[in-house]
Amino acid sequence: MKDTYDAVVVGAGVIGASVGLALARRGWRTLNLDRNAAAGAGSSGSTSAIVRFHYSTAEGCAMARESYYHWLDWPRFLGADDELGLAKYVNTGCLVFKHEGNDHLSRVAQALDELRVPCERLTTSDVERQFPWLDLRAFGPPTTPDDDRFGEPTGGVLPGALYLPESGYVDDAVLACHNLQRACEAHGGRFRFGAEVVEVIRDGGRAAGVRLADGDRVSSRVVINAAGPHSGAVNRLAAALDDMNVRTRPLKQEVCYVPAPSGIDYERTAPLVSDGDTGCYFRPAVGNQILVGSEEPDCDPLDWAADPDDYNTGFTDQWRTQVVRAAQRIRNLGIPARPAGVVDLYDVTEDWIPIYDNSRLPGFYMAVGTSGNQFKNAPVVGRLMAEIVEQVEAGRDHDRDPVQVPLPYVRRTCNAGFFSRLRSANPESSFTVLG
Ligand SMILES: Cc1cc2nc3c(=O)[nH]c(=O)nc-3n(C[C@H](O)[C@H](O)[C@H](O)COP(=O)(O)OP(=O)(O)OC[C@H]3O[C@@H](n4cnc5c(N)ncnc54)[C@H](O)[C@@H]3O)c2cc1C
C-alpha cells in the first residue's frame, strides 16, 4: 500500500471537511477523498445554508444553537486563513408560523426557552405590523395544484408566530467548505479530489483503508463515510447495512429563486420564514431574490432517487407549486415563466434525523443521513464524530454506552446515542426537512 493515514474520510462536503478538521486538530493524520473536483461540489454546494434553531427535538435545537456560535465567529472557529476569503453568516431573524400541524409550536418554544434562545411570541397583528408584505390568511393544510382548493384561503388567519431575532444563513456554502479544507490542511490534514472510493478494504475483521477507482489503495486505521447522498452506496461497500434500524436514501429537491415584489428591499429587511401552513420556507437571497424551498407537506409525493448518479436533474411542476405556495403568503409575488434555482439531493433517514455513529464493521464510521437540515450543524458534527472515533478506538462500546459530547456554548451535553443507527425512528420528529 502506498499511503497510510490514521483516518480516511470519504467526502469533502461540509460534513466530511468538518470531520477531517476536528480529527486533524486532535493530531490524527487525515485524508479526505472526494470524487468531485473541489470541496463542497456535492450537495453542500446546493444548500440553502439556513441557520435556524426550530427543530422538533430538544437535541436538534441544542445542536443547532451550539453551531450558531461557530458561524457567528467563523474566523475564530477556523483558526486559519483562506486565500479565497471566508464565508459569512448573514443575520436575518426567523419567523416561524404557528399552525395545527406543528402543535402551535408549543414543544419547540419550550425547547428554545430552555436553551435561552431569544424568542418573541408574536400575535397575528404583531406580524402584520412588522411584516406588512405578508398575507396572514390561513391556506392550510397544503394541497397540490390538481385540488380545487389549491391556492384558496381556508378561512380565518394564522394564529401568530415565533420570531427568533438570531437566525440567518451562510452567504457562500462552497466557500465555507473550502474554509474547512484550508483549516484542516493547516493542521496537516490532506485532501485528494477526483478520487472515487470503490472498495472499503478489510484486514483482520476491521476496516483498514480504501481502494480508489484508479486502482490506488490507501491504508488507514479508520474510514469515515461522509458521502452525502451516496452514503448508502458507501455503507454497502463496507457491508455495514445489516444492523441499521434507520438507513439513508437520496431524495430529489427543487429550490426556487424568484425576484422579490417591487418596492420591497427584501434582501436587507426580510427574515427567514418557515410556513407550514403553505408548506414552504423562504429566505432572502442576493440580488433582491427570494429562495423558496419545500417543507414536505403531506400532500406532496416524495421523489426518491433510486440511483444518486442517475435521476432527473431538471425542474418539474414541483417548482411552480412551491412558488405559488410562497405567493399565497408574500403579497404581489410574481410567478416567473422560467424556473430558476437549484436541483439536488438530500440524504434522508426514516425519521429525518442524521446518523452519526460507528458501525458493525470495526474501524468504519458514518456521518450520514443529514436529511436536508445539517449544513448548519457541521461545525459541531466534526467534533461529535471525532469524539466518537477517538473513544471507540480507545475501547468504548458506544452502542451500549453512548459517547457524551460537551456543548459548551449551550451548557449541555449531547448524548451521541441520539444519532445511533440502531435507534427506532424517532416519533418526535417532524418527518420533514425541519428534522
Ligand atoms: C437543496 C438543499 C437545500 C438545503 N438547505 C439546507 C439549509 O437551509 N440548512 C441546512 O442546515 N441544511 C440544508 N441542506 C442540507 C445540507 O446542505 C446537507 O446536510 C449537507 O450539505 C450535507 O453535507 P455532506 O458533506 O454530508 O454531503 P455532500 O456535500 O454531498 O458531500 C459528500 C461528498 O462525498 C463525495 N462522495 C460520494 N461518494 C463518494 C465516493 N464513493 N468516493 C469519493 N467521494 C464520494 C461527493 O462527491 C460529495 O462531494 C440542504 C441540502 C440541499 C440539497
Residue 142 belongs to some domain of the structure: yes
Atom in ligand 1 nearest the alpha carbon of residue 343: 1
Residue 429 belongs to some domain of the structure: no
Pocket test for ligand 1, best of 21, 33, 46, 48 (most atoms within 8 A of CB): 48
Give the model's pLDDT for residue 3: 79
Residue 424 belongs to some domain of the structure: no
Percent of the chain residues topping a pLDDT of 70: 100
Atom in ligand 1 nearest the alpha carbon of residue 33: 43
Residue nearest to atom 31 of ligand 1 (CA): 13
3-state secondary structure 276-306: CCCCEEEEEECCCEEEEEECCCCCCCCCECC
Q: Are residues 290 and 332 in the same domain?
A: yes
Residue nearest to atom 48 of ligand 1 (CA): 42
> What is the β-pairing status of strands 412-415 and 404-407?
antiparallel
| pLDDT tens sequence across 402-424 | 999 999 999 999 999 999 999 99
| pLDDT tens sequence across 330-388 | 999 999 999 999 999 999 999 999 999 999 999 999 999 999 999 999 999 999 999 99
How far does the centroid of ligand 1 lie from the alpha carbon of residue 228, in Å?
5
Residue 279 belongs to some domain of the structure: yes
How far does the centroid of ligand 1 lie from the alpha carbon of residue 235, in Å?
16
Identify the domain boundary among 296, 316, 345: 345
**Contact between residue 351 and residue 431 where contact means Cβ atoms under 8 Å apart:** yes
- In a 13 Å sphere around the CA of 391, the CA atoms on its Cβ side amount to 19
SS3 90: strand
Residue 306 belongs to some domain of the structure: yes
How far does the centroid of ligand 1 lie from the alpha carbon of residue 285, in Å?
20
Residue 312 belongs to some domain of the structure: yes
Report whether pLDDT(252) > 50.
yes
How far does the centroid of ligand 1 lie from the alpha carbon of residue 311, in Å?
16
Enclosing H/E stretch for 322: helix 317-329
Q: Record the cell numbers describing residue 5, joined without a space.
A: 493515514
Burial of 80 (C-beta count, 10 Å sphere; 0-12/13-18/19+): middle
**Contact between residue 190 and residue 181 where contact means Cβ atoms under 8 Å apart:** no
Residue 434 belongs to some domain of the structure: no
User: Which amino acids bring their CB within 6 angstroms of ligand 1?
Assistant: 10-16, 33-36, 41-44, 46-50, 196-197, 226-230, 234, 253, 255, 342, 344, 346, 370, 372-376
- The pTM of this model reads 0.98
Domain hosting 326: range is: 94-165+250-345
Residue nearest to atom 33 of ligand 1 (CA): 11
How far does the centroid of ligand 1 lie from the alpha carbon of residue 79, in Å?
23
Q: Are residues 69 and 195 in the same domain?
A: yes
> How many structural domains comprise the chain?
2
| pLDDT tens sequence across 21-67 | 999 999 999 999 999 999 999 999 999 999 999 998 999 999 999 99
Identify the domain boundary among 298, 319, 345: 345
Distances from the Cα of 288 to the Cαs of 266, 283, 314, 317, 328, in angstroms?
A: 6, 10, 24, 24, 19
Residue nearest to atom 3 of ligand 1 (CA): 47
How far does the centroid of ligand 1 lie from the alpha carbon of residue 183, in Å?
19
CB count in 10 Å sphere of residue 81? 13
Atom in ligand 1 nearest the alpha carbon of residue 372: 15
CATH number at residue 233: 3.50.50.60
Q: Are residues 37 and 152 in the same domain?
A: no
| pLDDT tens sequence across 201-239 | 999 999 999 999 999 999 999 999 999 999 999 999 999
Pocket test for ligand 1, best of 32, 43, 90, 371 (most atoms within 8 A of CB): 43
CATH number at residue 146: 3.30.9.10
Give the model's pLDDT for residue 199: 98
